[in-house]
Chains A and B, each alone.
Chain A
Amino acid sequence: NAGVTQTPKFRILKIGQSMTLQCTQDMNHNYMYWYRQDPGMGLKLIYYSVGAGITDKGEVPNGYNVSRSTTEDFPLRLELAAPSQTSVYFCASSSGTGGIRTQYFGPGTRLLVL
């Protein structure tokens, strides 16, 4: 079991560019999440999904889009990158209890927008 994997590990973007952060889990979890973490801060929920084909906004969705075509994959799309999107992005997944108990996190993607 690889758990939750994320690619890339690190990326530098220029203002206005776009990119997709990849997230894959092999635990057959229904629930998947995207968080961002700014330096010295807690995690903020961007988007989440309760199953394939179902996504919803979290606390800070502006500037991002997601899709969930399979149980395993939950990519995060950044359109028109801005310096405010410089952050560490974590993908997480949890089982069908709604993630109340345990979320399993990927290693993160460090994004720098210049």
Chain B
Amino acid sequence: GQSLEQPSEVTAVEGAIVQINCTYQTSGFYGLSWYQQHDGGAPTFLSYNALDGLEETGRFSSFLSRSDSYGYLLLQELQMKDSASYFCAVKGGQNFVFGPGTRLSVLP
């Protein structure tokens, strides 16, 4: 089966940098994705890693280490609008599995 672990909550101040970790167990790993979800909204895609290393997209970066079954999402120059839940997700076979989510609170 597949399982993912993330911290349940992270708090940071505006302008800071925060890292959200994700460890996974899956068979047939194809890649690690990150999604953002604001309260009451739908998940939206942020980033994806298929190979080891860092992917950068504006203020957001994502890292993957396949040998460690580990990845993280890095958010820089935090803004109040970044307060949301962040989910990592993996594809194992044809099944998609989402992590339990990390709730990020950005304080002024």
Contact = CB atoms under 8 A, between A and B. Distances in A.
Interface of A: 33, 35, 40-45, 48, 50, 56, 58-59, 90, 98-108
A102 B30 CA distance: 13
A91 to B, nearest CB: 9
Interface string B1-36: 000100000000000000000000000001101000
Given A43-B43, A90-B42, A107-B42, A101 B31 contact: yes
Contacts, number: 59
27 contacts: A33-B96, A41-B100, A42-B101, A43-B87, A43-B98, A45-B95, A45-B97, A48-B95, A48-B96, A56-B94, A58-B95, A59-B95, A90-B42, A98-B30, A99-B96, A100-B30, A100-B33, A100-B48, A100-B91, A101-B33, A101-B48, A103-B33, A103-B43, A103-B96, A105-B42, A105-B44, A107-B42
A96 B4 CA distance: 25
A41 B31 contact: no
A97 B77 CA distance: 33
B12 to A, nearest CB: 20
Interface of B: 4, 30-31, 33, 41-45, 48, 50, 87, 91, 94-101
Contacts of A44: 98
A50 B98 CA distance: 19
A100 B96 CA distance: 9
